[in-house]
Amino acid sequence: MLRRSLFRRAWYGLTGALTLVVLACSGSGDATGPDPIDPGPGPVDPGPGPVDPGPGPVDPGPGPTEPGIIAGTYALTAVNGSEPGLMVSLANPDGNLIGIYRFQPTTTLVLDPMGGYSLSLEYSDEKGNYVLGDDGEYQWTGAEGGVLLSFESDTWGDAFSGAARNDGGAVIDYDFDGDGRIDTRFEFQQVTGG
């Protein structure tokens, strides 16, 4: 009986060992077990995602909604940052002096509700008093805090830009000497409406 018991134990041991050897040698023939299943190239990378369009168009805010709001007569308040009546030097962007002038507070910009403008620059130098007139058409585009203005001169055949603010102020960047380069900033305040 003891012999049978030993024989059984040996048999179970030998069978178990052979089973382990067979399992270990299956697959690619190495002792590490079966080869793992290749899952393929993996999920497709969708890229960086949609482009953020940003905050969207600029909200023009509570600015004027029709040309009649900005139409009116504007009086001069500053020339290149200097008050009217003071001597101010005007120079081209390259620094070449145009002249030294005194612009009068009677200088006006008139914007009519139909899109026309007239500009009367009253100024003087050591030689005399002058009035430079300009008129033509303007267009406006709503912007935050006011409107952007673009002017087409019928008098001189050129163009210049400006802006009108909700507080009644206006500014134009002007080619005073007529050489095709903007050289002077005139600032105005509305004194009468449409």
What is the DSSP track for 118-143?
EEEEEEEETTEEEEEEEEEEEEEEEE
CA distance 161 to 149: 6
| pLDDT confidence of residue 20 | 38
CA distance 81 to 60: 26
| pLDDT confidence of residue 4 | 40
Give the chain's mean pLDDT. 76
Question: Per-residue pLDDT tens for 173-184?
Answer: 999 999 999 999
Question: Per-residue pLDDT tens for 17-62?
Answer: 434 343 344 444 444 444 545 545 555 555 554 544 444 443 344 4
Beta strand pairing status for 108-111 and 97-103? Answer: unpaired
Global pTM?
A: 0.64
| pLDDT confidence of residue 167 | 86
Question: Per-residue pLDDT tens for 64-86?
Answer: 445 457 899 999 999 999 999 99
Which amino acid appears at position 86 of this protein? L
Question: Per-residue pLDDT tens for 89-107?
Answer: 999 889 899 999 999 999 9
Tokens 């040996």 sit on residue: 10
Chain Cα centroid distance, residue 94: 27
Residue 171 β-bridge partners: 163, 187
The angle subtended at Cα 91 by Cα 143 and Cα 99, nearest 5°, is 125
Question: Per-residue pLDDT tens for 116-127?
Answer: 999 999 999 999
CA distance 64 to 31: 84
| pLDDT confidence of residue 45 | 52
| pLDDT confidence of residue 143 | 75
Q: Which of 159, 157, 149, 140 is nearest to 188 (CA)?
A: 149
| pLDDT confidence of residue 38 | 52
Q: Which two tokens stand for residue 27?
A: 């697959």
